[in-house]
Structure 1
């Protein structure tokens, strides 16, 4: 995905990982912002709105898990110079409801890397409260010669 450094405004100092609307899933969620964390690892951020809500008016668990999946890729991005990756597993524990309209953030780190595998963990927060914790396993794979149409 294209990424750009934001130089002014609310996200100054963050990179924006943006996908133009192209009918693929990631383009439906919104822009993901990321930056290096203060003690290592990566921090990610995404604005939320009504399309991310469930029937109770909170953030939908499926949206939070999709955000986590995208965040995990931002954590491992520097390790993917010549390869892509897929998620093999993601375990999520929901800790409190997410509020629609407020940005959610994820911080995380790579716990271990082998030749083809990456193991990550992280935490999703909103307004200083823990929303979810997660662990994930990613597998490096060759990049396809052609992109999907």
Structure 2
């Protein structure tokens, strides 16, 4: 990692953010930052698109992870899956910058969570998003395997 990124990470840690490297795909893209219920994205060079800004797919991944985790925690669910996620891109995010997202649970039922939020970078809205998550609690019966049957 370069010295600029090292300085940015040090500043984030001093501000109370902690890096969550996670696993799977999120680990592959560099993990995210957490502070309380807020999520953060440090725009490192490997997230660049052809125009020199953070790739839109990374911004969508950031929102997906933040909304998914927020929905599971709010519901006390063991697992969750994205049903629907829409994004409105409002401004580009520069490489080297840091963005924050505070997901809001708009509605919560026994099996579904509805969320919204806006990614803010240096005071500027970058992405606005709305999503729906299907929640699975540890007491739920797993889905059947094999062929579906008709009653």
TM range (shorter): 0.7 to 0.9
**What is the DSSP-based 3-state SS (H/G/I as helix, E as strand, rest coil) of the residue aligned with 1:99?**
coil
How many residues align? The count is 130
More strand by share: 1
C-alpha offsets along residues 51-99 of structure 1, whole Å, 9 cap, x if unaligned?
Answer: 1111010111101000111111232242353520011111100000110
Change (3 A) 1:45 1:77: same
Contact 1:107–1:123 at 8 Å: present in 2 too? yes
The residue number in structure 2 matching 1:14 is 17
The residue number in structure 2 matching 1:5 is none
Contact 1:30–1:46 at 8 Å: present in 2 too? no
More helix by share: 2
Structure label with greater radius of gyration: 2
Normalising by structure 2, report the TM-score.
0.76
Considering only aligned residues, what root-mean-square deviation do their CA atoms show, in Å?
Answer: 2.3
Normalising by structure 1, report the TM-score.
0.76
Change (3 A) 1:97 1:105: same
What residue ranges of structure 2 are gaps of 5+ in the alignment?
1-9, 143-151
What residue ranges of structure 1 are gaps of 5+ in the alignment?
1-7, 37-41
The 2-side partners of 1:80 and 1:17 are apart by 21
